[in-house]
Chain A
């Protein structure tokens, strides 16, 4: 089975990238792929708890990312230095993500057949 990873590097809401990444994961579910998500840099903000986007007339993106197991997403990874730099820990996240350091992320990227950046 081919391995595909989406690498989420941007904060949600401020740009369209996060929502497009979410749409892409749902689209990938049609194919038989081993899909992983990695949250890096401002991308870690995507899966912060307690998002309430009703004041912006938008749906909360964090929760949407936590429900992707139905779409074949088996693996969530988060870059530890990015979390720490932003004053966050895994307790602040809506998904049980595996924590990676730089070397761990490098290994993971090397294993992929394709990496899609958002």
Chain B
């Protein structure tokens, strides 16, 4: 399963609840405000890094660039729209809205 999260990690429990429920190994794609979870130094960083030990996390490039998120956590993979489509093609998708 590919989970898709579009809410910021400090003002919504969307990413936390997704990570609590998604099976280990299931990838998570961060898009729209979800990409703020990639910000290095944020108070969410420790639990986001913990999640990276058991699953890949992807962040959509256009959303990172729009928001000016340049200092990113190591291990979060940046994907462009083609990469986004490839992920969606390869997995069943659960939009975690």
Chain A residues proximal to chain B, CB less than 8 Å: 10-14, 41-42, 45, 48-56, 58, 60, 62, 85-88
Contact = CB atoms under 8 A, between A and B. Distances in A.
B39 A86 contact: yes
A52 B5 CA distance: 21
Contacts of A50: 68, 70
B36 A45 contact: yes
B91 interface: no
Nearest to B61: A55
Given A53-B66, A56-B63, A13 B33 contact: yes
A54 to B, nearest CB: 8
B8 interface: yes
A14 to B, nearest CB: 4
B65 interface: yes
Query: What's the dominant secondary structure at chain B's contact region?
Result: loop
Contact of A14 (B10, B33, B39, B65): B33
Contacts, number: 72
Taking residues whose C-beta sits less than 8 angstroms from the other chain, chain B's interface range is 20 to 34
Q: Which 7 A-B pairs have the closest CB atoms?
A: A87-B41, A55-B62, A14-B33, A50-B68, A53-B66, A87-B42, A51-B68
B36 A51 contact: no
Contact of B68 (A41, A62, A85): A62
A87 B40 contact: yes
Contacts of B71: 87
Contacts of A53: 65-66
B68 A14 contact: no
